[in-house]
Amino acid sequence: MTRTQLVEQIFLKKSYLCIGLDTDLQKIPKHLLQADDPIFEFNRQIIDATHDLCVSYKPNLAFYESLGIKGWQALEKTMDYISKKHFTIADAKRGDIGNTSKMYAKAFFETFDFDAVTVAPYMGADSVTPFLEFKNKWVILLALTSNQGSKDFQLHHQLYEEVLRKAQNWGTVENLMFVVGATHPHQFESIRKIVPNHFLLVPGVGAQGGDLEQLTHFGKNEQVGLLVNSSRAILYAGNGKDFAEKARAEALKVQQAMAQLLLKR
């Protein structure tokens, strides 16, 4: 998906919501465990209930890899089911030397046909650029994450700012995004001075307590430039047979809030 197509979907749906498909067999409704593929069945119903409210889906690869071949099959079926009008993100956090990165890129961009993959920057440019060689595909580079451990390195001497300054030259605004956690709303203003035009993937809204209004105020640019992820708060809003309806209700709350925030200048 191109940047133009993504921006069109955001303004069409009045939404910059990304739904994380962190599908956990221990948390999905018990009645789904009788299905041939419980993970896919859960994902299918979530997608059916929310597809008009979000612009992106983000499967977290750990929840699929942990199940072996059955998990990979569920992921493949999920990817086939998601509309091409949705921006798909492989939340894989890969990053290794060139040849290995190239194989990771082929796995996610060719085999599974994701639009984007999350990548760790620690090993430097030659571990990231192989992902950037694929047309109309995106790297989403970790910059400032939403977890407590971000204080250990990312916030130490503002290391995340150096990542933003250096890495923005590895790609363009057409194929490179950055992860910036919603739990750091006041850093968005300084981040936008460094990368004013890049898209930001923002985890941490919902269960992690990030504030949608604050991050939008400080982080939005002229083309919105944000994909705000919510996972658990939507996926597990209910655990009965009406789980998909409750997930939709939660996603609708977020989408309506986003629609109002898009009206503000």
Q: List active site positions.
A: 93
Residues 89/57, Cβ–Cβ less than 8 Å: yes
Residues 161/190, Cβ–Cβ less than 8 Å: yes
Residues 248 and 265: their CA atoms lie apart, in Å, by 28
Residues 144/160, Cβ–Cβ less than 8 Å: yes
Angle at 10 between CA 7 and CA 11, to 5 degrees: 90
Task: Collect all residues with Cβ–Cβ distance below 8 Å to 217 and sequence separation of at least 6.
Answer: 261, 264
Residues 234/250, Cβ–Cβ less than 8 Å: yes
